[in-house]
Structure 1
Amino acid sequence: MMSKRIYLDIETLPPTEETKTVILQALRQQKLTMQETINDDDLAMMADEEYRNGALHGERGRILTIGLLIEENGAILQQGCLGRDRETRQYHLDEARTLRSFWKLVADFKPSHDLFIGHNLLDFDLPFIYKRSIIHQIKPTIHLSFRRFQSQPIFDTMWEWSCWRHRISLHDLAQALAVPSPKAAGVTGDNVYDLYQQGRHEEIAQYCMRDVVCVRDVFHRLRYETAPPLLPAGITPLENSFTQAANAIGAAIR
């Protein structure tokens, strides 16, 4: 039976910039109400921290990109990042467009024998995608169960490693399993917003795909296997996927 494995990672942004002003005003009013004295610099730092924290919540944050690597019976069919303009290679921030592309891409997913694979996938990436889809009124093309203690159709490397007992970062797990860490280049999820503000879109795409490839390596280690080499032959590019990083991803992390 033909079966697919979809390795997945998302990168998110805080809410729109206007929200930062709203947060600052709310904090200032809160301090006045509580008769607390705080200088403007400290208040601005508090507002910035709360604003950035919004990227972790599907109610407020936004999906910048969805990194995917899709295999079928060991052959890589597609890989790349959704959310970028084909010509400029810049992230277009049209979240609804990115979500529609994602649900179209996975429409033939069969929960009975296909797998979504990711790190903290059950608690972050997939719920975030579902929440943003509801907000944009984009109906998912498939139904997934988020029940705990399962490895089909969602294989969460974090929970599989810890036997559903505690959390561990992908970086720490990669180090434990002697797998190249996606954080080795110095970029983490905490840097994504700053990189976006600086226009360093290609670095975000490369980091996102390093996460995806690392998850693939970890998945195989958890199954007492060695991950097959990444071979670009026969790959169908994703809509808005990046080019150089997708073609050189294997070399980039090893």
Structure 2
Amino acid sequence: MNSEFRRRAKNLLLLDIETVASVPAYDHLSDRMQQLWSKKAHRLRKEDYPQTDAEIFYDQAGIFAEFGRIVCIGFGAFYWNEQDEVCFRVRTFAHDDEATLLREFKALVEKYPPDQLILCAHNGKEFDFPYICRRMLIHGIELPRALQLSGKKPWEILHQDTMELWKFGDFKGATSLDLLAAVFGVASSKDEMSGNQVTRVFYEEKDIPKICRYCCEDVVVLAQLYLRMNYLPTIPEQNLDRPQQVRLENI
């Protein structure tokens, strides 16, 4: 690993969030929120597959910060072991109370120098970063300085996005993390579940550890992809430090 990467890695935090619908079902929403969701559902409804507002809510509400919530944040960082081998440690914050989860994440972010922290996520600039900020605002949590982006010039924002890096200025469409992982020969994170199953696993199976494992693997894939996109070798399995268990007392 070159010296430039070592310097950058000190303040590099890779992350992924898992989101679900804010409530278990559409009829749990207030009348006002039901009306507002119906307006959004009208634009989301597919002509060849007409779903009800309730079905669309269950399937898609989690991707909108106004109608969803964060149930898990996975994060990871590079480090070097005693043999001077690059390693990667990944952990998660998971909590049934979203405000508590967000405060834990804020405390982590504030351990880094705000003008040096590099947050990296796949589609992070369009999804993860603004979603976290919006949910913090909803809960009345002051944004950490590293996420206070208003008024900043583009070159003052250090965040990185592997989807944006892959576009090279091309705006025709998005490329999924799983597709890029396949292209670069990185193992998939989708063995146990996929992103469109998170709401069901959370509300029906009530299996937070499963969601956390999935989130962790997404962060591992992100890290390996980040290395490949920076002309660096991936990390061998024995140098990947995953959590042994989820802190269930927080759930």
Range class of TM-score, shorter chain: 0.7 to 0.9
Partner of residue 183, structure 2:
176
Question: Do the aligned partners of residues 136 and 75 (structure 1) sit closer, same or farther apart at CA in structure 2, a change above 3 Å counting?
Answer: farther
1:193 aligns with 2:194: no
1:143-158 aligned at under 5 Å gives the runs 143-144=146-147, 145=149, 153-158=158-163
Equivalents in 2 of 1:68, 1:136: separation in Å?
A: 21
**8 Å CA contact 1:5, 1:72 repeated in 2:** no
Partner of residue 137, structure 1:
140
SS at match of 1:79: strand
Normalised to the residue count of structure 2, the TM-score between the two structures is 0.74
4+ runs deviating over 4 angstroms: 21-27, 72-78, 146-152
| Structure 1: gaps (5+ residues) | 31-41, 84-91, 236-241, 247-254
Partner of residue 6, structure 1:
13
Q: Give how far 1:245 is off.
A: 7.7
Q: Give how far 1:110 is off.
A: 3.0
Residue-pair matches, total: 217
1:3-152 aligned at under 5 Å gives the runs 3-17=10-24, 19-22=26-29, 45-71=52-78, 79-83=90-94, 92-144=95-147, 145=149
Partner of residue 159, structure 1:
164
Partner of residue 211, structure 1:
218
Equivalents in 2 of 1:244, 1:25: separation in Å?
A: 37
Q: Give how far 1:193 is off.
A: 1.0
Identity %: 27
Partner of residue 252, structure 1:
none
Residue deviations 1:188-213 (CA, integer Å, cap 9, x gap): 11001111121222221111011000
Question: Do the aligned partners of residues 94 and 4 (structure 1) sit closer, same or farther apart at CA in structure 2, a change above 3 Å counting?
Answer: same
Q: Give how far 1:46 is off.
A: 4.0
Q: Give how far 1:153 is off.
A: 1.6
| Structure 2: gaps (5+ residues) | 1-6, 40-49
Equivalents in 2 of 1:216, 1:77: separation in Å?
A: 8
Equivalents in 2 of 1:25, 1:95: separation in Å?
A: 21
**8 Å CA contact 2:16, 2:74 repeated in 1:** yes
Normalised to the residue count of structure 1, the TM-score between the two structures is 0.73
